[in-house]
Amino acid sequence: MTRKKTIEKKAQTVPSDEPTNNETVASEPSSSTPNEPEATEQVSELVNGVTNLSMTDKERGEMDRQTKSKEQIKAEREAKKAEKANKKANATSKVVASPAPQIQQHAPQIPNGQTLLSTTQVSKLENKKDVTQKPPSPEPKSAIKKDTARGNREVQFDLNTTVLRTPSEETISDLPKMFVFTDLAPNFNVHPVFHTLAARCERGQVADVDDLCEEFLSAFVKFISDWGAERLHNSDADPTALGFDLDLAIRPQLGYLTEDGRWPLPYALGNLVRQLKREIKRLDEPCKHAHTKEDGTVAAELPGGCDKLKELEEWLEETRYSCFELATNSISTHLMQKRKFSKKIVTFDWCRVVNRILLDSLVGEDPDLKHIVVLDQQLNGRGVRHMDTLLDKNVKLDYGDLRSLSVALHKCSIVLIGCSAVLSNGCVAVPKGSLSIALSAQANNIPFMVCAQTFKFVDKVQTYGRMALLGRENMELVPSSLITAIVTDIRIVPPSSAPAILKAKALESQN
């Protein structure tokens, strides 16, 4: 917080200096008057207000009339007019004539073929000389010096370049576009774990939002440990501004993942990041309960806010456990009653929660579930993961693409599908093709159930065509009218209860 305040103070002081300087410059001619005490008064009055200025002029005029005669006054006025005229004439001559002599002065010192100076450089030189109003020095400026020194190395035939650059000055933006890999441009503020995460997403190694969230949390734990260690070595770090510093530090990381806010984060991940930011802000708040030892003495805080960072790491681990382990368990338990008498379940695409439910329902000697059908967007798609896990189980397995939908839904009990987000109007963002399944399920009067952890509920009513990290995500919205129920880790709710879940989550986070 202190660092923030100092930045604000600087920002306030810098603009306040400028008008005072200008006023003092403007008051210089008045200081040439014979009465010095009046001049000092004028300066002080100028600072106070403009209205006082008129008063001082009048007083000065009265004083002049008293001391000088009419002839003297006339003579002074004429002299002033003449001075003004001279000044105007000098100014116009400078503006018109000043560039030419300067270039003429520099030109002979640059060898032939090296006169490819940029206009900006020239204008900069001119401005500097105008401001300082010094006579042009015989030696050229340093930039020109460099150019002249490396005259032999320059490429003479490149007509497009107006600026001659040394190899060290060349940046990646100067290269032709076909050689520029903007995505691979090194961003030194970004931790390598986020580079790895983005690369894995780019290669399609991250299957769905659940995996992405889990990988993000584990990456963030690594980032925090590294950042904390670095901060420990930094003696200038303010221990009270830990949260503020961490908030500043994660901005480039998130900016890298979202390509500077170009694409929004996937909804579930966005929810986690929002919670994470809230936790980070809480780091700066004073501790409600001080660390007390067993003997009652207050424990000394670790240097660099390490204990707070540890707390944050624990929170991350706890979130990961509750969002993925506990939530999946409770979803599976809630669905137990519904799937008890179901003999045939149809699922679509890969979802780890659904897979867990299917595996749980096959536990036991004589499970009710006899038949599982896995559908995919196209053959050999992501649904094969389900098949790999279910292959050795004692259950009848069918696999097919969307063309076999009508055969798959024949005598089916439940259609079970995972999702990436549940919107506040009850719509569900699901893998592409689920809408066809939902329509067919409705036509065949088969319940269409969606599994969603509560962290996937978002207070929005629309999806974007593209999300960060997951690219052009294969998502579409299934309207709430086609959904029988959403199985959450709280309970099984109808899609119209999405706002209630959001409210419950908000209350939970406040407490």
Partner 1 sequence: MNHRFTITVARAAVIFVKSVLMHREFLVFKQVGKSPETMTTASTRQEVIEEGRKHLLIEEGRKQLLINLRRRTTREPSFKLATDTLNFLRKVVLHGTYNNLEELLALLRENGLILSGAYPSELVMRNLVLMVCKLARESNSRETNGEFDSPYDSLNKLWKKEDKENQIGRSAKTIRKKLIQAVNDIQIEMETCREHISAQGQYLVHMNDVLIVHSLSTSTTLSSFLAGAKKDKKTRVFSVQIPTEPDDHDAVSISLCEVAGKMCEATKVILSGATVFPDGSCLAPAGGLSICLAAHRHSVPVYVLCAFYKIAPFFVPDSSAVIKHSLPGLPVAMASKWAGRVRVLQPALEMIPANLITLFVSNTASIMPSHIYRLIGDYYHPDDVANY
Q: 212 and 266 in contact (C-beta within 8 Å)?
A: yes
C-beta of 405: minimal distance to partner 1 in Å?
A: 6
DSSP state of 372: E
Cβ proximity to partner 1: between 125 and 423 the closer is 423
Distance CA 198, CA 195 (A): 5
Of the two residues 284 and 398, which places its CB atom closer to partner 1 in the complex? 398
Identify the DSSP state of 292. Answer: B
Instruction: Kindly tell me which of 409 and 416 has the beta carbon lying closer to partner 1.
Output: 409
Least distance between partner 1 and beta carbon 398 (Å): 5
Per the listing, tokens 């076909």 go with: 178
DSSP code for 300: P
Cross-strand partners of 477: 429
Among 45, 279, 307, 398, binds partner 1 (CB under 8 A): 398
Q: Give yes or no for residue 195 binding partner 1 (CB under 8 A).
A: no
258, 265 contact by CB (below 8 A): yes
476 binds partner 1 (CB under 8 A): yes
Half-sphere exposure (CA, 13 Å, Cβ side) for 366? 1
CB of 214 to partner 1, least distance (A): 26
Angle, alpha carbons 235-237-242 (nearest 5°):
145
Interface with partner 1, residue 144, by CB under 8 A: no
94 binds partner 1 (CB under 8 A): no
Distance CA 352, CA 11 (A): 51
Q: Is 480 in the site for partner 1 (CB under 8 A)?
A: no
Q: Smallest distance, Å, CB 342 to partner 1?
A: 19
Q: Is 415 in the site for partner 1 (CB under 8 A)?
A: no
The one segment of 11-19, 224-232, 300-308, 393-401 that binds partner 1 by CB under 8 A: 393-401
Per-residue x/- track, 351-390, partner 1 (CB under 8 A): ----------------------x---xxxx---x--x---
The span from the CA of 386 to the CA of 376, in Å, is 10
The SS3 assignment for 399 reads strand
According to CB under 8 A, which one of 435, 492, 502, 504 is a site residue for partner 1? 435
Sheet holding 475-478, edge to edge: 421-422, 428-431, 475-478
Nearer to partner 1, 305 or 381 (CB): 381
301 touches partner 1 (CB under 8 A): no
Single out the residue of 440, 453, 463, 488 in contact with partner 1 (rule: CB under 8 A): 440
Burial class (CB in 10 A: 0-12, 13-18, 19+), 367: middle
Rounded to an integer, what is the distance from CA 140 to the centroid of its chain? Answer: 44
Give the interface with partner 1 as residue ranges (CB under 8 A).
373, 377-380, 384, 387, 391, 396-408, 410, 431-433, 435-437, 439-440, 443, 474, 476
